[in-house]
Amino acid sequence: MSKLNLVQAINQALRHEMERNPDLVLLGEDIGRDGGVFRVTEGLIERFGERRVVDTPLSESAIVGAAIGMAAYGLTPVVEIQFMGFVYAAMEQLISHAARLRTRTRGRYTCPLVVRAPYGGGIHAPEHHSESTEAFFVHTPGLKVVVPSTPAEAKGLLLSAIRDPDPVLFLEPAKIYRAIKEEVPEGEYVIPLGQARVVLEGKDVTLITWGAMLHPVLKATNRMAEKGVEAEVIDLRTLSPLDSATLLKSVEKTGRAVIVHEAPRTCGLGAEIAAQICEEALLFLQAPVARVAGFDTPIPLPKMEKYYLPDVDQIVEAIEQVMGF
């Protein structure tokens, strides 16, 4: 084991899987000689060559579209979209084709591909570099959506995503690419998709989050612990399919839920989670479900970003609100 940040953990996962699977091909812009704009693929072209680590033309739709054809043919393509804000050019490929190929051919063709993209705010990046629009993809039947929250999680989830027989969107929170280091198991380390993680056990309130937001959520629970509130924290890990059972079990225990995400509030994934809690666990609730989310505005440019992204204070406030209801 060694202490790695998220970038290094993903790099290690890709390296591990490329050694194992000779049909694994990486496609993306600047991922080869440059090692990716965040250096996630650094050193891979030297190890595996330009046949398997392909610097493509600047062409998101064709990158994803070609990956669909490759996957159907029998390769294992792993695509990097440079920033989530640039994935929209490939939306048609993802929604109309990748997500539908298996079912529209009744299983004759499948599409085992992974699209990786850095996502989320908090890195003071230019316009269109801080998007958090995971809900578009969660809303798309046939896609899986995964967001890791720590380096070890990233490795374990990425290996599962690559081995998954269906298309997976793997969203990497750019804010924590280098912010956290932790022990990452070397070699084989797999975390199954579709299973949320109870990061912290508690009896008073359930905090539901994913990705970079896990970290302010954990800070908020520290503060609440000082006030005697024992929060349970759930890291969703896989946004689609959602591990509803784990969420509901926790809410049934605590009777209170706060959902935290940086994506815009309206029709964000929090809305679906709140709806499921109301449908399945209403009689356990001791307070209305609360959401801490981004505003329904485009994420601002860096100078105003901090006014947009949920922070520890807002999370603490929401917990106090549901505790005091």
Partner 1 sequence: MPRKVIKEFKVEWFQILDESGNVDRSFWPGSDPITEKEIRAFYEAVVLIRTFDEKALNLQREGRLGTYASVKGQEAVQVGTASALHPSDWVFPAFREPGVSIVRGLPMKMIYQYWSGDERGSAIPEALHDFPIAIPVGTHIPHAVGAAWAAQFKNDPIAVATYFGDGATSKGDFHEGLNFAGVFKLPIVFVCQNNHWAISVPLSRQTASATLAQKAIAYGFEGIQVDGNDLFGVHVTMKRALEKARRGEGPTLIECFTYRLSDHTTADDASRYRSSDEVAAWKSKDPLVRLRTFLEREYRWSEADEAALRKQAQERVAAAVHEFESTPPAEPSAMFDTLFASLPPHLVRQKEILKKRIEQDGSLHVKEKG
Would you tell me which residues interact with partner 1 (CB under 8 A)? 23, 25, 51, 56-57, 59, 61-62, 64-75, 77, 89, 92-93, 96-97, 102-110, 141-142, 144, 164-166, 194, 241-242, 244-245
Pairing status of strand 114-119 against strand 24-28: unpaired
Count of other CB atoms within 10 angstroms of residue 130: 28
Q: How far is the CB of 234 from partner 1 (least distance, A)?
A: 16
b/e map 151-187, b = 16+ CB within 10 Å: bbbbbbbbbbbbbbebbbbbbbbbbbbeebeeebeee
**Residues marked as catalytic:** 129
Amino acid at 46: E
Residue closer to partner 1 by CB (options 47, 104) is 104
Residue closer to partner 1 by CB (options 244, 314) is 244
Q: How far is the CB of 144 from partner 1 (least distance, A)?
A: 8
Residues facing residue 258 across a β-bridge: 207, 290
Residue closer to partner 1 by CB (options 32, 77) is 77
Measured in residues, the chain has a length of: 325
Phi, psi of 74, rounded to the nearest 5 degrees: 130, 0
Residue closer to partner 1 by CB (options 76, 206) is 76
Q: How far is the CB of 227 from partner 1 (least distance, A)?
A: 36
Residue closer to partner 1 by CB (options 247, 319) is 247
145: left (phi over 0), alpha (psi -120 to 50) or beta: beta
Query: Strand order of the sheet with strand 53-55?
Result: 53-55, 24-28, 76-80, 114-119, 168-173, 144-146, 238-240
Q: How far is the CB of 179 from partner 1 (least distance, A)?
A: 31
Q: How far is the CB of 92 from partner 1 (least distance, A)?
A: 6
Q: How far is the CB of 110 from partner 1 (least distance, A)?
A: 7
- Per-residue tokens: 207: 């905090």
Residue closer to partner 1 by CB (options 5, 56) is 56
CB 64 within 8 A of CB 99: no
By CB neighbour count within 10 A (0-12 exposed, 13-18 middle, 19+ buried), where does 42 fall?
A: middle
